[in-house]
Chains A and B, each alone.
Chain A
Amino acid sequence: MFSRAYKAAVTLPPLLWVTVFLLLPYLLMFCYSFWSVSESQTIVHSWNFSNYAQLLRVDVYWQTLLRSMSIAARVTIFSLVLGYPLAYFLSFYAGRKKDLLYQLVIIPLWVSYLVRAYAWKTILGSEGVLNTLLQYVHLTKHPLEFLLYSPFAVVLTLTHIYTPFAFLPIYAALEHIPRNLVEASHDLGATPGQTFWKVIFPLSIPGVVAGATFAFVLSLGDFLAPLLLGGPSGIMISNIVVSLFGAAYNWPLGAAISFCMLLLVVSLLFFSERLEKKWSFS
């Protein structure tokens, strides 16, 4: 239906921009990962695998990556545990208040990440709200140290940030389920509980996969929460990258790690897409 000129006009500009400002930078990053940094703090364009070799050899990178994945996994599980029942409640039980409640869930999403992470710092610190409250009601005598500057704080904050991200696709999937399927299930003798496990949950799986992917990938690459609240035991892989581009000046190594993360994310996306397709029935 649409003329060649129209198609060209509509496709080429974004294609060009995206090629220059997305594809090209990624390729550059790929190239950087093969270079190295010289003694005098300049980047040497000698092509080798030394950076990748370093990643494999040196423990700290592996450990940090594993810790990051463990944190991301925990955040994902908690986000799903918090987000799914919430989405289910909104979709099937909220009735007329559904819209209002939906807005209430997405509002925190757009309120500054920094603001919210900082707020948790205020709450969790040894002089912070939670500790002083606990002491005030005499539940504890001394401030609980593990609350802040620990992986616990990072997981807590990231769960707080990413639960709405997990919620959104789950809610969309649940809303998509025709209500007459629920009635049919009841009609055939299944209780609401049986109906949930046999009909509703299977049909919502694509949403769950999407939500889990969002939560996992975004927490994995997060560097602000660990920096603000993680302390030395809560360092994640992105923090290492940041320092390599900052004080520890080693762009090629940083690029190598970044590129690995890019590959990891892209493969995760690929798998989750396959999984979603497998579980979608419309």
Chain B
Amino acid sequence: MELLVSETKLVSGSRWLLCHAVAVFAFLYLPIAVLILYSFNGEGVGGFPPHHLTLDWYRTLFADGPIWDSVLNSLQVALAAMVIALTFGVPAALALERAQFPGKALFRRLVLLPLILPGIITGLSLLMLFNVMGTKLSLMTIVLGHGTALISVATTEVFAGLQKLDRAQEEASLDLGANYWQTFWRITVPNLKLPIIGAALLIFTLSMDEIAVSFFLIGRDNTLPLEIWGRLRRGITPEINAVSTIIFVFSLVAIVFWYRLRMRGESAAEGETR
């Protein structure tokens, strides 16, 4: 029986906390707000206040061929990276959560390292690998780079999901006559559905935005972030505001969806234990 939560009275100190929180949120969303605002600005970037509002930049954007090519490239890369990351990340999570083996600690650190290591190091080291192997740089190399770096994301999400799993279910399955493989596919994997979908969503979004690793592994074809990057080097074009706004909207939808999925997973687990 949950004890009823006590109410915390608002003390004067907490008014400062509230102001601080509002200020931080403003700071976090300010650039995004500016971006969205100026994507509709007739005079393009700069100047305040924004003058006549227009959809011109969006129109230019839609007519821009190379951008859409790069979007297609990014989508392909993201999907492929997702497959790789999940294929190796899910078993890695299982290995870390379930099995004991020599070198487990090293394995864990290695798998999770790309999460915190600056992308440049991962990208560079892979570049050197491909150089030595004589592989030409292309979308494929980017796929390998993203996939490798994002295994850590898959592992983390699935690991968290595994910890919430009730072992008794799998034991019951074995007790009733199913062997390890059957139990895995009939019990374990269905229970991991939500974390896996969540991880997939996250990996996809991160891959679409990835620059550091892609920077070094790029061949002839650009991904979307690198295409934008190239344009930025040459000078600011207001189209970029438009494409950024669109990217923002998509990311927003993706992340809110991911969060809802995760919450659904947590409340489902709670419901079962009652």
Contact = CB atoms under 8 A, between A and B. Distances in A.
Interface of A: 1-3, 5-7, 9-11, 13-15, 17-18, 21-26, 28-29, 32, 82-83, 85-86, 88-90, 92-93, 99, 101, 103-108, 110-116, 118-123, 125, 127-129, 132-133, 136, 160, 163-164, 179, 183, 192-193, 213-214, 217-218, 220-224, 228, 238, 241-242, 245, 251, 254-255, 258, 261-262, 265, 269
Contacts, number: 245
Contacts of A112: 209, 225, 244, 247-248, 251
Contacts of A123: 30-31, 34
Given A11-B101, A86-B24, A160-B31, A193 B13 contact: yes
B222 interface: no
Secondary structure dominating the interface of A: helix
B98 A122 contact: no
B21 A85 contact: yes
Contacts of B244: 112, 115, 118-119
B222 to A, nearest CB: 13
Contacts of B89: 14
Contacts of B259: 103, 106
Q: Which of B6, B129, B247 has the most CB of A within 10 A?
A: B129
A160 B35 CA distance: 15
A43 to B, nearest CB: 9
A106 B45 CA distance: 27
Contact of B124 (A3, A179, A213, A255): A255
A226 B158 CA distance: 35
Given A183-B6, A224-B211, A114 B229 contact: yes
Given A160-B27, A218-B116, 19 more contacts: A2-B98, A2-B180, A10-B91, A11-B91, A11-B99, A85-B21, A86-B20, A108-B32, A110-B255, A111-B251, A118-B232, A122-B46, A122-B241, A129-B46, A132-B47, A160-B31, A213-B116, A228-B232, A258-B120
B144 interface: yes
B255 A107 contact: yes
Contacts of B236: 118, 121-122
A129 B125 contact: no
B199 to A, nearest CB: 13
Interface residues of B, number: 88
A115 B121 contact: no
B83 interface: no
Given A10-B95, A14-B95, A106-B255, A93 B17 contact: yes
Contacts of B122: 22, 25
B159 interface: no
Interface of B: 5-6, 8, 10-11, 13-14, 17-18, 20-21, 24-25, 27-32, 34-35, 38, 45-49, 87-89, 91-92, 94-95, 98-99, 101, 107, 110-111, 113-114, 116-122, 124-129, 132, 144, 148, 151, 171, 180-181, 184, 202, 205-206, 209, 211-212, 215-216, 225, 228-229, 232, 236, 240-241, 244, 247-248, 251-252, 254-256, 259, 263
Contacts of B225: 112, 114
Nearest to A239: B120
Given A18-B107, A107-B255, A251 B128 contact: yes
Contacts of B101: 7, 11
Contacts of A122: 31, 34-35, 38, 45-46, 236, 241
